[in-house]
Amino acid sequence: MIFNFKAIQQSETIEASTSHDYIREDAKMNNKKYRDDMKILMEKKVKKKDLFKVGDIVNLKIPKADKGKLGRSHLPCKILQVKSNGFYNLGCFAGTLNVNYKGNCLESTELTSMAELTNIPNKVVTVTEAVRLQSNINSVKCKCPNTNCSTMKCACKKLNLSCNIRCHPGKTCHNPSL
């Protein structure tokens, strides 16, 4: 019996490349499946943020770098324009903010209107400027626990001022700035 070693070697290399290609294709499919599964898992874990529309009142989370020196954690804003990829153009009482923000930087509020956000000036400002200006507007701050600002014990009502966002956010008030 005569063996053709060249033919055997060639067939082994063909089988080896075929098995190598098979392993490579299998690895590609497994990798793609793993990526798809991870994408689904991450989408489930990431909380979906509210989608806002033009005219909504939102609170902008102030960046950590500015939070300490400005003494505030949020800035009330109004959505002026919805941009592509989930970005929003915001306006505050001092003017239009110079940066567009993603939805995950914003928190929804139950407010439908706010007196200081009805007429937004046609001026571009930074967040730091806006927060600094708002902190200086009304330095009076009440913390009426049970009266809901309905009596003259309210520091704002005594001075004939409306309660502002710094007074008691989230509580009912009979002296609102709305």
What pLDDT is recorded for position 106?
A: 85
Q: How far apart are CA 167 and CA 170, in angstroms?
A: 10
Answer yes or no: do 124 and 112 share one domain.
yes
Residue type, 41: L
Spell out the alpha helix ranges (H) of the chain.
5-45, 64-70, 127-137, 155-158
Q: Is residue 51 part of a domain?
A: no
Residues 119 and 147 both lie in one domain:
no
In a domain, 80, yes or no: yes
- Whole-number Å distance between alpha carbons of 174 and 130: 27
List, in sequence order, every residue forming a beta bridge with 147; answer none if it has no partner. Answer: none
Is there a single domain that holds both residue 94 and residue 133? yes
pLDDT average, residue stretch 83-104: 87
Region 6-24: what's the mean pLDDT? 63
**What per-residue confidence (pLDDT) applies to 178?**
41
Q: Which residue range(s) make up the domain with 114?
A: 57-137
pLDDT band at 136 (very low <50, low <70, confident <90, very high): low
pLDDT at position 142, please?
77
Residues 147 and 130 in one domain: no
Q: Are residues 177 and 157 in the same domain?
A: yes
pLDDT of residue 8: 46
Is 0.75 topped by the overall pTM?
A: no
What was the pLDDT predicted at 167? Answer: 73
Please tell me the predicted confidence (pLDDT) of residue 70.
57
Q: Are residues 110 and 146 in the same domain?
A: no
127 and 65 in one domain? yes
What's the angle, vertex CA 61, arms to CA 56 and CA 138, rounded to 5? 80
Structural tokens at position 111? 């407010």
pLDDT of residue 89: 92
Ranking 9-18, 42-51, 91-100, 121-130 by mean pLDDT, the lowest is 9-18
Instruction: Note the pLDDT tens digit of each residue in 154-177.
Output: 877 777 777 766 676 666 677 765
**Residue 161 lies inside a defined structural domain of this protein:** yes
Write out pLDDT tens, residues 45-87: 665 555 788 888 888 888 776 665 556 678 889 999 988 887 8
d(CA 86, CA 66): 24
In the predicted structure, residue 105 carries a pLDDT above the cut 60:
yes
Please say if the pLDDT value at position 22 is more than 90.
no
Same domain, 37 and 87: no
Name the domain count of the chain.
3
Residues 64 and 121 in one domain: yes
